[in-house]
């Protein structure tokens, strides 16, 4: 990882952590979406791939934090090449965006 990417990684981690902290202290904070949007903008500048743990916490379409109120999850089985594979589908109820995660056994 180059120096610029390392710096961006730290910025992204800080901004996401800060947004989570703010959401617990002041849930109606109108700037939470902006913090997360900023983090995604920084990552785009240097082609930094945001890790999947962060993608599970936030919605990349509307930049909201996922909570029990605004998400819905369900599992799904799918046949790919004659083998069943399990997926988790995470719906964002704010923007109807669906994230699909494959479960590896």
Minimum CB–partner distance for residue 92 and Zn ion (Å):
3
Residue nearer to Zn ion on the CB measure, 23 or 95: 95
Strand intervals (E) in the chain? 71-80, 83-92, 98-103
Contact by Cβ (8 Å): 43, 50: yes
Binding residues for Zn ion, rule: CB under 5 A, are 59, 61-62, 92, 94-95, 97
Tokens standing for residue 80? 């790919």
Q: What does the angle CA 74 – CA 82 – CA 103 come to, to the nearest 5 degrees?
A: 35
Residue nearer to Zn ion on the CB measure, 5 or 33: 33
Residue nearer to Zn ion on the CB measure, 9 or 66: 66
**CB atoms inside a 10 Å sphere around CB 36:** 25
């Amino acid at each position: 990882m180059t120096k610029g990417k390392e710096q961006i990684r730290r910025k992204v981690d800080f901004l996401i952590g800060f947004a989570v902290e703010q959401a617990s202290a002041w849930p109606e904070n109108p700037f939470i979406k902006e913090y997360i949007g900023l983090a995604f903008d920084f990552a785009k500048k240097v082609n930094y791939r945001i890790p999947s743990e962060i993608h599970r916490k936030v919605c990349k379409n509307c930049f909201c934090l996922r909570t029990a109120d605004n998400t819905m999850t369900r599992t799904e089985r799918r046949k790919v090449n004659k083998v069943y594979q399990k997926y988790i589908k995470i719906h964002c109820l704010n923007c109807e965006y669906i994230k699909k995660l494959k479960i590896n056994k």
